[in-house]
Amino acid sequence: MRAKSRIIELLSKDGLTFPKLDNLFSFINKTYSIDLNEIKSDFNSLLNEGKIFEVRKGRYITIPSKNYYSATFIGNSKGFGFCQIDGMEEDIFIPANMTNGAIDGDKVIFKLDKSTAEAQEGMIAKIFKPVKMIAGCVEKIGPTYFLEPDNNRIPFKIKLNRSKIGIAKDDKVVVNLIRKNGVFSGDIIEHLGKSDDVLACELAIIRDHQLYEIFPDDVENQAQAIPQKISDKQRKGRSDYTNKIIFTIDGEDAKDLDDAVSIERTSSGGYLLGVYIADVGEYVKYDSPLDREAFNRGTSVYFPTNVLPMLPKQLSNGICSLNENEERLTLSVLIELDKDGVVKSHKIEESIIKSVARLNYTNVYKVLCGEKADEKTEKVKDQLLLMNELSRILEKKEIASGSLDFEIPEVQFIFDKDGRAVDFAKRERNDAHRLIENFMILANKVVAKEFYDKDIPFVYRVHLAPKKEKVENVIEYLKGLGVKTPSIPQQITPKFYQELLASVEDLELSETINKVILRSMQKAIYQNQCLGHFGLALDYYCHFTSPIRRYPDLTIHRIIKESLHKKIEGQRISELETFTFEASAQSSLTEKNADKCEREVDDLWKAYLMRDRVGEEFVGLVGSVTNFGVFVELENTVEGMIKIEDLDDNFLLFERQLKLKGQRMSFSVGDKIKVRLTSANIYTRKIDFEYIEHIKQQSLTKH
């Protein structure tokens, strides 16, 4: 890592030229005393990561620079595609003859080629990380087998090479993509089942996102070698809290328990809150096989039927999981607050704990409601009630500062013993969930503030303010509903968004409006710059509380540990600046990929469950409108489309008003309508409705 920052630094200087790579390597070696093998290895890593690019023979540049950028190629079934530049509103159009063989999902370097009044165009200069796995359905044309990719943005069939794996038409398989002189073929590496098997379809989605359950051998070997008990050496220098009343609160099916809590009443009537997070950094050392794999995965990915963990189960469910009655290493944050919830002091330290109970949200909520819970939850009833008291104080403070809570429902599936969904509904979120959320937010805020003040390189969770144009669209939509809205301020603030949410909270369609308002906001990302979190109305925020399942948390855990041991100085600061930048960018990408994969798998199971209900009628709300149809949301979270060609009318789309207006009928976001289910396809994950009629809503203020 030391060489990476030096290479980037030198190649960023326009006036500096090295006629041969060996000259560059030699210069870094002699000037900074870095081993030549390390320099060459880091140089190749930068090339493979798309951080540097050979713009012409012997001439290397950093990316981005000189109109060259890195991006994920977004393909199209017609052969052209798009690339996206962070901070740029419009995607860059890549004509079909300028893709250089790139397909959807490839990581590419592209050159911004020309700009017109309408759009910007570019060309693909290099594919630095090609898509390797593609899932699809087997087709047979004559004697030859082909793969029809599930990803409809790949505009061609892929010839299948001979394989020892037996295949037949309509099989669902995964291939390793072979590219040679612009010709694509595929080696079959996995047979998933038949195309009408929902479990095979689920696995195909996972593979198309380049995700997998199995860890490489060197990673498994390292994980297997990690002792499942704490050693005497690891105990040295740590605070021992094994006799303290500390417990975990999680979902009933959770296995990777990475946070625990404790609470005490202080002598002044305030609170001493303890947040204890699994010390994953003690076991996953930088640049080890485990670390490299965790960096590549970036996050654990959660599906209705299973979890793809960031770390092997020996860690995620074993020595790093804060299991009941097991001694575990933690990074603890002890926070003293006064009776009004104001932080008076805090301490971050390495510690050892032993959780006295593995609690779940269901039983904790019973205690908070004054109902009888199971025995071990009842034993810590006093602590839970005190925690709830503090949680409500913190929540009031958060709301007063402008923190936003959209209450958008998530789906929860119910499965049978064979792993197939039998029902689904909205996932419950109650005071037990909020309690843990509020404590984790507080810990994240405290940690971020301390390391910002120390001016140590760090990874922050950044959520920027919405763009004014998006806010104007929301206001125009709300005015169309007859909602009285606040004036748009010069600077968009969380308080303003609170006013927006408050103006619609009593409306019958408030949930739909909340989604419209949420869509106007930017996505939260990871950065090594502290730029604040708009949604939480915080100036300082990071992700510290889930190092088992998120790489940013693991990254800052190791930085915190180095800081506690006073190892961050001199050259180390420069190294951490480089690494926190890399970790932030990679983690943002992997999070985006994981979120998309999770949504697609949820859509698959929804389609599977709705297949037997074709012909039934439902009442739903218009969730969005497009120039090709109307999307309708049902109470059970299912979303389907009424195709515009199935509506006997001519329509015009009014984007700002979120309205599709015809000569005889119109559809606006929030309209209540009756529909009939006409199809639910597990292959495409699409659900189609037939329009029946509009349902008159009693009034805007009827909740």
Mark 37-56 as b/e (b = at least 16 C-beta within 10 Å).
eebeebbebbeebbbbbebe
Which H or E element spans position 26? helix 21-32
Distance CA 441, CA 536 (A): 9
Phi, psi of 594 (to 5 degrees): -65, -45
Beta bridge partners of 327: 354
Beta bridge partners of 689: 677
Helix ranges, 308-380 (H) = 313, 361-368, 375-379
pLDDT at 15: 61
Beta bridge partners of 278: 330
pLDDT digits (tens, 9 = 90+) for 87-104: 666 789 999 999 999 999
Which residues, 6+ apart, have CB-to-CB distance to 308 below 8 Å?
206, 211, 212, 213, 297, 300, 301
pLDDT at 701: 45
Half-sphere exposure of 264 (CA within 13 A, CB side): 11
Distance CA 647, CA 688 (A): 13
Mark 588-615 as b/e (b = at least 16 C-beta within 10 Å).
bebbebbeebbebbbbbbbbbbbeeeee
Structure tokens at 140: 């047979």
pLDDT digits (tens, 9 = 90+) for 232-276: 999 999 999 999 999 999 998 888 999 999 999 999 999 999 999
First to last CA, the chain: 57
Structure tokens at 202: 């689920």
What's the one-letter identity of residue 609?
L
Q: Say which DSSP state 530 is in.
A: -
Mark 164-195 as b/e (b = at least 16 C-beta within 10 Å).
eeebeeebbbbbebeeeeeebbbebebbbeeb
Q: Say which DSSP state 197 is in.
A: -
- Among the listed residues 499, 546, 517, 523, the one whose alpha carbon sits nearest the alpha carbon of residue 670: 517
Given a contact cutoff of 8 angstroms between Cβ atoms, the answer to whether 682 and 198 are in contact is yes
Q: Say which DSSP state 538 is in.
A: B
Which residues, 6+ apart, have CB-to-CB distance to 112 below 8 Å?
67, 68, 69, 92, 120, 121, 122
Beta bridge partners of 83: 92
Distance CA 324, CA 312 (A): 20
pLDDT at 284: 97
Strand pairing class (357-360; 247-250): parallel
Distance CA 276, CA 322 (A): 9
Q: Which residues of the chain have pLDDT under 50?
A: 701-703
pLDDT at 186: 95
Distance CA 29, CA 22 (A): 10
pLDDT at 116: 61
Which residues, 6+ apart, have CB-to-CB distance to 24 below 8 Å?
7, 10, 18, 43
Given a contact cutoff of 8 angstroms between Cβ atoms, the answer to whether 330 and 443 are in contact is no
Stated pTM of the model: 0.91
- Among the listed residues 300, 326, 318, the one whose alpha carbon sits nearest the alpha carbon of residue 546: 300
pLDDT at 702: 41
